[in-house]
Structure 1
Amino acid sequence: MLVVRPITPQDYAALYTCAVESGHGFTSLPIDEGLLRRRIARAQEAFARERVSEPGEEGYLFVMEDTATGEIVGCSAIEAAVGLSDAFYHYHVGTVVHHSRELGVYNTLQTLTLCNDYTGVSELCTLFLREPFRKNMNGRVLSRFRMLFMAEFRNRFSDITIAEMRGVSDAHGESPFWGWLKEHFFSIDFTQADYLTGVGEKTFVYELMPKLPIYVNLLPPEAQAVIGKVHENTRPALTMLQSEGFRFRGYVDIFDAGPTVEAEVENIRSVRESKRLPVKIGAVPSSSPRFIICNTRVADFRALQAPLVAEPEQVIIDAEVAAALRVQAGDYVRFVALTGAN
């Protein structure tokens, strides 16, 4: 059984493996021992805070574990509020009009403007599932359980949440968009810039990034073509988020121009459609529909997919599922249909 739980210091080696396997462009999971250990420690602090009245610096990092073997098969995270201590940059895709009535010229041009518009919002991030386990809707569980966590603990998160999608890059980790920036403003490779941002060294962005709006039509065609586009491996994640109500509002990553999508937390489908009911432990027919289910505790959080029987006043789960969720009869769980939002 695959169970999602808060990360612990004992998971460091597995998290490092995920960082290595995730490859280039995965900014929030750099191959850096110090940063990974700090992320684990920061997550432990976040889960240990019992009373949180508003989103702050908390970073909730989870792992998915195969309980039969103890193997960590993936990870995902939620940032409660981004940009509060470190600047959180994006480019906003805008429009300017150059018009001369006298000459009969009317040109509509796209621009890219450096901004910090998402400061203070929550972020779904660090989603990675190892290759052998990309089946049986495990990826859907590893992403969507976070929406149940946000629904259960609303005070810990902003009213708006975003997700940054990995942009287009080649097999060597080179981004066509970054290639243009590198030529004119930077002198470092995309992988190095991505790594520096991942480990929190963002000063160079402000120092070297062009401050004035960039006219998109001045970029080479290969750079223009990837603005707002996702990496091929990221398409399933984007499709899933779109089915949940996330939309592209014109914000792209400053390095690879991948899209950032956003949604109001209350309008996320898994948040709206989730229910919270007490548990009854009993027999569950194998033909019962499957749900994503989580308990209602922070530090001892658990989530998984399993069949259940939903009744008006309670849900029935079997003893194995109850044990994995660490709940007893009468405890509450939150749940949403596994296939209902896609």
Structure 2
Amino acid sequence: MIIIRPIQASDYDDLHRIAVESGHGFTSLPVNEELLKKRIEHSEKSFNVEVTQPGNEGYLFVMEDTKTGAVVGTSGIEAAVGLEDAFYHYHLGKVVHNSRELGIYNTVETLSLCNDYTGASEICTLFLGEGHRKNNNGRFLSRFRFLFMAEHAERFADTVIAEMRGVSDDDGRSPFWAWLEEHFFSIDFPTADYLTGIGKKVFIAELMPKYPIYVNLLSKEAQLVINKVHEKTVPALRLLEAEGFARRGYVDIFDGGPTVEANRNSIRAAADSQKCQVIIGEVSEQNKFIICNSKVKEFRATQAAVSLRETANQVVISQEAADAILVKEGDWVRIVAN
């Protein structure tokens, strides 16, 4: 059975493997033993702390195949970004240049460095091994987070964002960064990406241009990838858009990829989810639901067929599903059709 649970120290080898497999542009999982272990430790502390409002917590989950015990994917949520380290974006704006006397009117797009998303919650670190990209596992690995957020709303901000991976080639070269590298930074994209991933962000404030950049001054290659996603990220973007996430003109400072946002309570999976009391029994229906328990440090989620008794706020699940998510008859769970 496929389950999702909080990461633990014994998952380090699997997390390191995922960091290697994920490749360039996956800033939140640098291939660095010390930092990966710190990420796991920070996540364990976050799941164990009592919270009344979002802070510096970071929740990292893994997808496990219980038949083999293998960790096959990961997915995360940052409770509130930018509270300790500056959280940068470019915002796309416009400047108008016009002359009545000459009859000239030009609109020029600009990129302005900002910290507008400070304090927002961020969904991040989504990766699924190729062998398990089936049976709606990818959709499950993304959407379960919205049930966790709905169940524990006090831990998260009203605004939820996701940074989408921008365009880069197989060698990690970003056309957007190439222009910035040439004129301002003198370090390549993988290096800048890695430094950010390990928390060394001071160079951004030191070297990033402080004034708005006119987009038409960038190289043609850089202009073409602004607000565009990597081809492998298109399915993830479509899924989030179906959940109600939308672009608001913010792009990544390294690869120009879009950041999308939504109000936490308006996210489709959260808004459509239901709290139901568990009945354990035979389930004849074949429709799959995402089911999660109401716990934090012992959080579990899975996909399973259920029988709904909506008028009584009850759901019938199998004993196998109940065991997978650590619930017994009479407990409450949150469910949504996947």
Please indicate, yes or no, whether the TM-score normalized by the shorter chain is above 0.5. Answer: yes
Aligned to 2:108: 109
2:283 is aligned with 1:290: no
Partner SS for 2:64: strand
Q: Distance in 1 between matches of 2:21 and 2:106?
A: 45
Structure 1 alignment gaps of length 5 or more: none
2:22 is the alignment partner of 1:2: no
Secondary structure of the 1:112 match is strand
Question: What residue identity is the alignment partner of 1:308?
Answer: V
Q: Distance in 1 between matches of 2:309 and 2:287?
A: 13
Q: After the TM superposition, which residues 1-342 of structure 1 pair with which residues of structure 2 at under 5 Å, given as runs?
A: 1-49=1-49, 51-285=50-284, 287-312=285-310, 313=312, 314-338=314-338
CA displacement, residues 180-225 of structure 1 (integer Å, 9 cap, x when unaligned): 0000001111000000000000000000010100000011111000
- Give the Cα separation in 1 of the matches to 2:47 and 2:23: 28
AA paired with 1:48? N
Where 2:3 maps in the other structure, the secondary structure is strand
Q: Residue type of the partner of 1:240?
A: L
Count, aligned residues: 336
Answer yes or no: is the 8 Å Cα contact 1:247–1:261 preserved in 2: yes
Query: How far does the alpha carbon of each residue in 1:10-58 deviate from its partner, in whole angstroms, 9 at most, with x for none?
Result: 0000000000000000000110111100010000001001x31100000
- Counterparts of 1:335 and 1:6, CA distance in 2: 18
TM-score by length of 1: 0.98
Q: What is the RMSD computed on CA atoms of the aligned residues?
A: 0.5
What CA distance in whole angstroms lies between the structure 1 residues aligned with 2:201 and 2:170?
A: 25
Distance 1:134 1:121 in 2: 29
Q: Distance in 1 between matches of 2:336 and 2:326?
A: 18
Percent of pairs with identical residues: 63
SS at match of 1:225: helix
Aligned partner of residue 146 in structure 1, secondary structure? helix
**Cα drift, residue 289 of structure 1:** 1.1
Give distance in 2, aligned partners of 1:237 and 1:55.
25
Unaligned runs of 5+ in 2: none
Give the TM-score of the pair, scaled to structure 2. Answer: 0.99
Following superposition, the deviation at residue 288 of structure 1 comes to 2.9
Native 8 Å contact 1:288 1:309 kept in 2: no
For residues 137 and 127 of structure 1, what CA distance do their matches in structure 2 show?
14
Deviation at 1:88, TM superposition (A): 0.2
* 8 Å Cα contact 1:9/1:37 also seen in 2: yes
Aligned 8 A contact 1:248 1:261 in 2: yes
> d(CA) in 2 for partners of 1:171 and 1:269?
34
Whole-Å separation in 1 of the counterparts to 2:186 and 2:216: 22
Code of the aligned partner of 1:243: A
Task: Return the letter of the residue paired with 1:184.
Answer: H
- d(CA) in 1 for partners of 2:170 and 2:77? 28
Aligned to 2:227, the other structure's residue is in SS state coil
- Report the Cα distance in structure 1 between the residues aligned to 2:286 and 2:330, rounded to whole angstroms: 21
- Paired with 1:293 and 1:96, the residues of 2 have a C-alpha distance of 49
